[in-house]
Structure 1
């Protein structure tokens, strides 16, 4: 018997939500003509047929017959593996899971829910009731890259009543699932739940730190970098606050702290906070010989480059390259560094050229806007020079070449120096009062 075809896939998450889900049934699913096979279509007839087959029910007999070929996962979940997974690890509690699946009711030809129809995988967290209970139980029996078929009882799906008219009462279902990936996010509260006595024991703290690190890594993968930073700092604080009993524990503690500070440097670079990244690198130096740590040297180089410390950045990156000569990321970072450094040199030459009158300027009459800009800057400079406490005056961003020429002329007139400096990988200009020796502050 053939079931009705949905115009769009029914999303289980919406169905389980507070507001439910709406769906429409197509009564003309056999009436599609040649519009699917036009020559200017990006797909082919074969591709369309493959996609069509993918959402068709591969089992045309009763579920009882299929269960007889399966083994029991739980009271209401039966399983048959169609492709073995990798490794021995099953999906743990609290894991973040990504799956590809199609789901069918007994005796129906087409899927009532399908990631294939939606064109995207389903990602959810175990234990948070984001999917049907039966599907969650099924997924927890799987290994990475495994593909399997599950017959799941109505008791752990839509219950005795179902969801009329689409979902019949006591509706069992066949789920064909591929486990794409899973990550164990760890226990975010593992450290906070320790007693005062436990917090001083390295043997206890190290396991909880491992949980917190895993949770931080999960945050980082999801681009929740601020949360990752908080967890990494929490792990550092607890690890540094506990007592070690012997040299072996001391060595292990140091290695873990170096890994944590390296992760923090990565996070701060990603958050465009190079100064904090450098602080984390300094902590690593306190703990060991950084010249043997290519990852730390790499992120030190990146942070220094974003601070405009190009020579020091190059030194760190070259040290990292000596440790990992074929690392493509280091080669790429050195290329970026050389490009930025050259651009910086050109900008400095341009400033010097304007300062010494070497740049040719066109004798143009100032526009009304330029006259207004000149008067405003002149007033600002008068106040700046008159204020004995003020040593620097930062120029606004986005000034045109002509406006920079005006600023240079006024700087000469008021005997102050125009300098270029870098902050958070951006170039800024500022005016500085000259010292008695004639040079501006550095």
Structure 2
């Protein structure tokens, strides 16, 4: 451990691990890449820099490691891990000045269906790099998603006035229009191959929640998600996206 804590040994070991990690990442072996970055962080935490220059170098390697881990976790569909890496990064540097970290903050929140948070971080990243095409595309995609979701929701509720209820669920006090709209939405989500999320209105009744929960069970990949507790509890219909191994 004494030998490993030396600055020269630390940097040599970390750079070697990062090279291996990049090799695995290029081959889309993201879990192996993550393992190498995690090992490099362990080595960095053992380091005992002797002066300001060494301390700054170790800091830069930590920043690089956290950012690369965030990217890897994004690739294996673990948004909460991405957020955790960005939060760790924020302890050692001002993340508001780090475009790539802000961008992957946005990516993580987009995966979680938190549209407003995703857009906020994308815009923060865009301010740092106005000409970044990847950030611009992410914002454009979010804009299209919001418009499509609004149009879909409007269409579903309009259809509720034209169709008869098809569900046999009868244990809840909900009217025919609600039943039709809920079924149409679940069917739309089930037919999609992408991750989707629709927040239920805060005014929805307990019967409405129960009805939708049972209804979601009829559709593969569609679930009712509960968020928060007590009076702050909210509900969302989720279409689970494909899981990347």
Q: TM-score, normalised by structure 2?
A: 0.70
Which residue among 355, 359, 374 is the counterpart of 2:160?
Answer: 359
Secondary structure of the equivalent of 1:430? strand
CA distance in 1, matches of 2:40, 2:123: 31
Give 2:145's aligned residue: 340
Shift of 1:348: 5.5
Which residue among 82, 90, 93 is the counterpart of 1:277?
Answer: 82
Secondary structure of the equivalent of 1:361? coil
Which residue among 200, 203, 207 is the counterpart of 1:414?
Answer: 207
**Contact 1:198–1:204 (8 Å) recurs in 2:** yes
Give 1:430's aligned residue: 224
Whether 1:296 and 2:101 are equivalent positions in the alignment is: yes
Alignment of 1:348-427 (within 5 A): 353=157, 359-363=160-164, 374=168, 377=169, 399-400=186-187, 414=207, 416=209, 418=212
Larger RCO of the pair (alpha carbons < 8 Å, separation 6+): 2
CA distance in 2, matches of 1:239, 1:345: 48
Give 1:312's aligned residue: 117
Identify if the C-alpha distance between structure 1 residues 290 and 322 changes in structure 2 by more than 3 Å, giving closer, same or farther.
same
Post-superposition CA distance 1:337-382 (Å, at most 9, x none) = 222233344456577x48xxx8313237x5xxx5xxx2xx557x8x
Identify if the C-alpha distance between structure 1 residues 305 and 247 changes in structure 2 by more than 3 Å, giving closer, same or farther.
same
CA distance in 2, matches of 1:241, 1:269: 27
CA distance in 2, matches of 1:337, 1:415: 29
CA distance in 2, matches of 1:252, 1:340: 41
Give 2:239's aligned residue: none
Shift of 1:428: 4.4
Identify if the C-alpha distance between structure 1 residues 272 and 278 changes in structure 2 by more than 3 Å, giving closer, same or farther.
same
- Structure 2 gaps of 5+ residues are 173-181, 191-199, 214-220, 236-245
CA distance in 2, matches of 1:378, 1:363: 14
Identify if the C-alpha distance between structure 1 residues 321 and 363 changes in structure 2 by more than 3 Å, giving closer, same or farther.
closer
CA distance in 2, matches of 1:224, 1:212: 14
Give 1:215's aligned residue: 20
Structure with a larger share of its residues in helix: 2
Identify if the C-alpha distance between structure 1 residues 285 and 415 changes in structure 2 by more than 3 Å, giving closer, same or farther.
same
Give 1:225's aligned residue: 30
Runs of 4+ in 1 over 6 A off after TM superposition: none
Which residue among 13, 32, 45 is the counterpart of 1:240?
Answer: 45
Give 1:161's aligned residue: none
**Contact 2:186–2:222 (8 Å) recurs in 1:** no
**Contact 1:304–1:310 (8 Å) recurs in 2:** yes
Q: How many residues align?
A: 203
**Contact 1:416–1:431 (8 Å) recurs in 2:** no
Structure with a larger share of its residues in strand: 1
Give 1:68's aligned residue: none
Give 1:197's aligned residue: 2
Secondary structure of the equivalent of 2:18? helix
Post-superposition CA distance 1:374-433 (Å, at most 9, x none) = 2xx557x8xxxxxxxxxxxxx9xx9436x9xxxx9xx979353648xxxxxxx944276x
